[in-house]
Amino acid sequence: MDKDIPKKIIDELDSASQQLEAEREGKVPEPSEKIMKIIYSDKGPESPFEEAPPGKEGVKAYSGDYWGAFSLEKFANAGSLRYTHEDAGGWLKYLQKFKPRNFWYGDAGVKIWAYYEQYDNWQDTYGMDAVLAVYHSGHGGMAGDGKFYVPLGANWGGLGTTACSDKMRLGNEQVRYITWSTCLSLRVLGGHNPIRTWSKANLGFRMLFGYETVSYDDPDYGSAFWKHWNKGKSFSKAFMDASWYDVSHHQAPSVVACGATKDEAKNRVFNERKYYWGSVSRKWWWWRWYYAAKEAAAIRALNQNLPQDLLIAELQPRAVDGKYVSSILARHDLGIRLPREVHAGPEGILSIKDGDMQIALEGDGSYEIQFARPNLENTNQISTPKALNLADDFLREHGFDQEGLALDHIMLSHEGGGTEDETQIEGPFVTETVVNFTQLINGVPVISPGKGYVSVTIDNDGTVTSIKNSTRGIDNLTDRFKGTPGAPDEESSVKEFEDPDRPKQLLAQAWQEQMRDWIVKGRIPEQFRVVPGTYEIGYAIKGDEAVLVARNDIEVDCGGGYLKRYSVEVPLLE
């Protein structure tokens, strides 16, 4: 009968039979583009929500109680900000793919009633305690006694224009996850801790996200959070990685979680990645945060000189497909078994998990690999020299061009915790050391956040637990932008950079333009200063090109004790 069956079908059946036999014997077939199909979707592969309990109905047309947001750029009693609406909008944009919002209040619509007990679940629809997850982006400050306070947009009921943590009562109704995208909202150092600030306010929330330090006014926090979450990360890691890698490592993001026991709280802060409806015990609190190591050996000297040749780098384009994923697995000798198909979410992000191992990729080919879970029980911090040696060895063994990389900085992952009555306080501990390298192009570093770096994470056992790689191959170095050739006999503009202060002048001009925008809004900063140790010249990756830029950070005094930071970047070749 075989002669009646087309040979093509016989071959396909034989191939399928061989593959099934190999699977039975535990043999993994060689990965190939054919056996992994990437399915792209604008919605995203996964909802972050646990479904609401049955019977939840509000008095309004919609009161699903899943999420809500507040964002302020204009305040009743503080200087203006620029990017908080974009910040909150980036957070809500992903969520609204799955559930409608209860509310999003902005500027003068943000008033004190929404933060205090009497009205914080008004009409079972509006206020901080009316939703499962809530996001507030604006100014923030903290008093010496640990009281956190935020300026609002307008007065209400004669109660003023500032909401304070000691008067809040959150979690006895709906809210379980609270993000304060503000300065100083979750302090963990200098005599402060999350229990001191938030125990009186916490009547059942599970997790709270904030900052130990002054934070940056940046549009990308909210969207970057979901980018990292879609890589399979927990809420806390997604929040801290978004702040550290996509915005600035000159700040310290922090997260706290609660539970009935130390282990429950610790497990929640490290692993929870779904919005759950249940309230939790406040008996134990556990928190984690990122902070830069201060040792001289852990920080790269800033580049403040132009390269000899002012060139633009044309970068190698990359197609993210099964073949590319397989090449990464082979490079790192990673035994992850590729599925037949994988779903990619926003920005082409996909994640593949196999036990404790996981690989996640972005649409531009950047990738992260978790090789193993860190041993968090070992709290004896590994030394900086040992961490550097282990990271260097890893790069060499995994085929990285170490001449094309330079040590950038070392980040320390801290944790600590205690009981609600503070009779037991543990830590702070350093449980992971992250050695960050930056890519060198034309002899100078890439300095744009989230691009052109390699990070190697090492636990206190000396195990390399993960790697991040966003470096790009270089096709060509040229003195012209693509598509913008100079006119015949036109002189190059590089002569203006014979003045070594020209980059600083361009940064000052860019900052003055931003100041004029504030004047139009009617409230200018009281004073500002360049943050020491932030002025640098380097490359910024823009699509498939890397261009020379100058950057520095500005800290702004917005009045009322509120500070904020801005990153200013200007191109040096147009």
pLDDT tens, position by position, for the chain (574 residues)?
Answer: 444 555 444 454 454 555 555 444 544 444 444 568 888 887 777 899 987 766 554 444 457 899 999 999 999 999 999 999 999 999 999 999 999 999 999 999 999 999 999 999 999 999 999 999 999 999 999 999 999 999 999 999 999 999 999 999 999 999 999 999 999 999 999 999 999 999 999 999 999 999 999 999 999 999 999 999 999 999 999 999 999 999 999 999 999 999 999 999 999 999 999 999 999 999 999 999 999 999 888 899 999 999 999 999 999 998 899 899 999 999 999 988 888 899 898 788 999 999 999 999 999 999 999 999 999 999 999 999 999 999 999 999 999 987 799 999 999 999 999 999 999 999 999 999 999 999 999 999 999 999 999 999 999 999 999 999 999 999 999 987 544 555 555 555 554 666 788 999 999 999 999 888 777 766 677 789 999 999 999 999 999 999 999 999 999 999 989 999 999 999 997 6
Q: Tell me, rounded to whole angstroms, the distance of Cα 503 from its chain centroid.
A: 29
- Residue 136 pairs in a beta bridge with 70, 180
Residue with the two structure tokens 């004896």: 380
Report the alpha-carbon distance of residue 415 to residue 392 in Å, rounded: 26
CA distances to 255, 380, 477 from 178, rounded to whole Å, are: 10, 32, 47
Helices and strands counted in the chain (H then E): 9, 26
Q: Which helix (H) or strand (E) holds 262?
A: helix 262-271
Looking at residue 348, its amino acid is: G
Q: Which two tokens stand for residue 358?
A: 């996981």
User: Is the CB of residue 244 less than 8 Å from the CB of residue 215?
Assistant: no
The count of residues in the chain is 574
Among residues 183, 255, 241, 264, the alpha carbon closest in space to that of 415 is found at 255
Among residues 137, 61, 72, the alpha carbon closest in space to that of 101 is found at 61
Strand 563-571 relative to strand 37-40: parallel, antiparallel, unpaired? unpaired
Strand 464-469 relative to strand 527-530: parallel, antiparallel, unpaired? unpaired
Q: Give the chain's radius of gyration (CA, Å).
A: 26
Q: Which helix (H) or strand (E) holds 519?
A: helix 502-521
Report the alpha-carbon distance of residue 148 to residue 166 in Å, rounded: 8
Report the alpha-carbon distance of residue 223 to residue 242 in Å, rounded: 9
Report the alpha-carbon distance of residue 67 to residue 177 in Å, rounded: 9
Q: Which helix (H) or strand (E) holds 194?
A: helix 194-198
Report the alpha-carbon distance of residue 99 to residue 97 in Å, rounded: 6
| Residue 40, pLDDT score | 85
Q: Which two tokens stand for residue 201?
A: 């306010």
Q: Which two tokens stand for residue 465?
A: 């637990």
Q: Which helix (H) or strand (E) holds 466?
A: strand 464-469
Report the alpha-carbon distance of residue 219 to residue 90 in Å, rounded: 8
| Residue 486, pLDDT score | 55
The reported pTM is 0.91
Residue with the two structure tokens 């995994």: 398
Q: Tell me, rounded to whole angstroms, the distance of Cα 409 from its chain centroid.
A: 17
Half-sphere exposure of 60 (CA within 13 A, CB side): 15
Report the alpha-carbon distance of residue 552 to residue 529 in Å, rounded: 11
